[in-house]
Structures are given as structure tokens and as C-alpha cells.
Amino acid sequence: MPVNPLRGTRRLTQLREDHLTECLAGWLDIDDAGREAYCALVLRPYAAAVGWASPRIADIDTQRSFSSGRPDLTLMLTDGHVVAVEHKVDAIETLGFASEDGEPLGQLRRYLDDPAIAAVAFVRSTLKPPADEVLGSSKYIQPADRQHFLWRDFYPLLEASSNRYAAWLREAFEADGYTPPHTLVGELTARDARVNFAKYWLPVRAVAHDLGWDVGTGSLVELYLSPRKTHVPATVWINPTDSMLVFRATPTDPAQTERIARLLGDATAALGFSGTTDIRTVPRAAGKVAVVDVCVPMRRVLGTADSGPTVEAHLFAFVEPLLQALAAGSTDLDAYQT
């Protein structure tokens, strides 16, 4: 498999936002066409609305110091305007639940008040509108159809570029799920889409029951699998979003965490998906616990699905082997025969 240094170096740091910012800045610095496309998407509509000249980026910096703080990305335009762009990469456990009183929303307010900064944009993994005072500022840049930019907005720019660095960054975006929603799934933040998506889980619910789990539902599209038989090695949470499918196993015996990670990692690799399998520590009511997360871009899971039945089949083809892997990891495989 060809080496992708952007994905490879990602494994060396926990600072996901900083790493992604540096990768994006590197692309803008070396790809003239990509920089022009970025300007057209992020800056040009705002510039036209406030009477600036057509924007062109003269220089790019990351973590530049201002009296108001250190924006993730700073764009110096040829006309002298300075634009700050704040980036947010959401952890799986906190998608959509950032406090308006915490960072980076407080940072946006400070940057907007800074006289050295002419305009401010905000990029997140998922939709979480900032405070009204941010949205109401004449210095705040936002797309026409929502309150801030999403990482996936840049995916078509990377897809259109012939630059090798852009291809690496596009692969990194795909691995993180920063891709447009599948046309048959749509925006899973919308209730109608969630209600429709929930119908696709029927085969998965059936096989999960046969393998020893009771199946519950949360937020319409999430599945919660609780062990019905004492030898099932984990509870399971399956969470689909527009961009990512997360399969989380919580070992019933913490000593089995590494073993379950190997089982799920092997099963995912056998499917040929470019996802990740990681052991994480997450907060629970009784304290922090170790979980095993398999995260695969929804784009990869659904592939060429072109109808409701094929969406259902693709979901089953991904989830069923993971459930079978957990079942096969039981000390008594015969107990799963139903």
C-alpha cells in the first residue's frame, strides 16, 4: 500500500486539530488551484458582500499570536485584510455537545473583537451553531446555507485537485469521514432521515439477537446491544452519522479489552475497510471505562448502494462480521447456535 505521510503522522500525535490544520495549511501553500478554490468557497462570497476586492491569499500561517489569542489558521490577503479561521475536530464522545461557554466558541468572540483581524470563519466536524452574538457580527464569515463551515465542505476541492498532496489529504479526510453524505442517507441530523435510516437495521437486529444480544434503540438510528447470555463478551453501541459509522464494544470483562480489539481489528481488516480500531477511555456513570471503537467512513460502508435494499445489505455486510467476531471470541462458541 502506498505511504500517505499525512495519515501516518496523524498516529504520532493526540493534537488532531493542530495536525489537520497544519496539513490543510500545507496544501494551501503549495497548490495554487486549491488555494483559489478555497478562496472561492470560504472568502469570495463574504468579500463581495462587504465590498472587499476579490480575495487572494498572500500568506498563510498557523497558530499566529494576536492579542486575542492564537487562531488555528491565519490568512493574509493581498489587499491587507487578515482572516482568522478556527478549527474544531469533535471527539466521538462529544459530537454536537460542546458548551457555548467553552472553547472554541469563546475564542470566536475574542477574535471578532480584535481590531487586527478583519474577519473570522469557523470549521467543525459536525453542526453546532455558535452564539447569536457571533452569528450577528459583521466580521463573521459563514456559508449561505448554515451557521459555519464543515470539514466535508473542503472534500470536493481536494477531489478536484490533481496535486499529490491534495490526494494524500483527501485520503485523510475519507478516513476521518469528512465526506459528503451518501445521497440515499442524507443529513442524519434531520429527523425524517433518521426515521428512514432506522428501517435499514432490521437484518442487523435479527442476527444480533441470534448471537446473544438484546437490541435496543437510541436517537432513532443508534443500536444498543446488551448481552443476553453471560458469555457474550461485550455490550455494543452502533452509531451512524452522515460521515462515519462507529461500532463500539465495551468489554464485560476489562481484562478482555486487548483481545476484543484484536478480534474487531482482524474482522475490519478482512473486510478491506480503511477504518480504524482503537482502544479509548470514555466516561460512564460508574467512572471511566475502556472501550474498543471501530470507525469507518459511511462513504466506504455504503459504497455503491443505490437503493434502500442495497443500503440495508451494505450495512449488514459491514456489521455482521464484527458481531460474528465477538461471538466467535466466546469461550463457548456452541452456545451461540440458535
Only one residue has cell 451518501, namely 182
Gap between the Cα atoms of 214 and 93, Å rounded: 23
Gap between the Cα atoms of 127 and 213, Å rounded: 33
- Of residues 223 and 103, more confidently modeled: 223
Give the pLDDT confidence of 22-31 residue by residue, as tens digits: 999 999 999 9
**Residue 74 cell numbers, joined:** 491565519
Gap between the Cα atoms of 246 and 280, Å rounded: 13
Is residue 99 scored above 50 in pLDDT?
no
Which pLDDT belongs to residue 308? 83
Give the pLDDT confidence of 175-196 residue by residue, as tens digits: 777 887 777 777 777 788 888 8
Only one residue has cell 470563519, namely 121
Percent helix, strand, coil in the chain (nearest 5)? 45, 20, 35
- Contact between 120 and 139 under an 8 Å Cβ cutoff? The reply is yes
pLDDT band per the 50, 70, 90 thresholds, residue 277? confident
Spell out a b/e string for 241-271, using b for 16 or more CB atoms within 10 Å of the CB, else e: bbbbbbbbbbbeeeebbeebbebbbebbeeb
DSSP states of 25-45: HHHHHH-HHHHHHHIIIIIHH
**Residue 128 cell numbers, joined:** 453546532
The dihedral sign for the CA sequence 36, 37, 43, 44: positive
Gap between the Cα atoms of 246 and 258, Å rounded: 18
Of 142, 73, 154, nearest to 107 (Cα)?
73
- Of residues 21 and 332, more confidently modeled: 21
**Residue 46 cell numbers, joined:** 463574504
Mean pLDDT for all residues in the chain: 85
Which pLDDT belongs to residue 334? 41
3-state secondary structure of 140: strand
Cis check for the bond before 130: say yes or no (omega within 30 of 0).
no
Gap between the Cα atoms of 210 and 207, Å rounded: 5
Give all strands (DSSP E) within 222-310, no chain letters. 222-227, 234-240, 244-251, 276-284, 287-297
Only one residue has cell 490568512, namely 75
Share of the chain above pLDDT 70, in %: 87
Element (H, E) at 326: helix 308-328
pLDDT band per the 50, 70, 90 thresholds, residue 278? confident
Which pLDDT belongs to residue 97? 31
Cβ neighbours for 86, distance < 8 A, ≥ 6 positions apart? 71, 72, 73, 104, 107, 108, 111, 120, 121, 122, 123
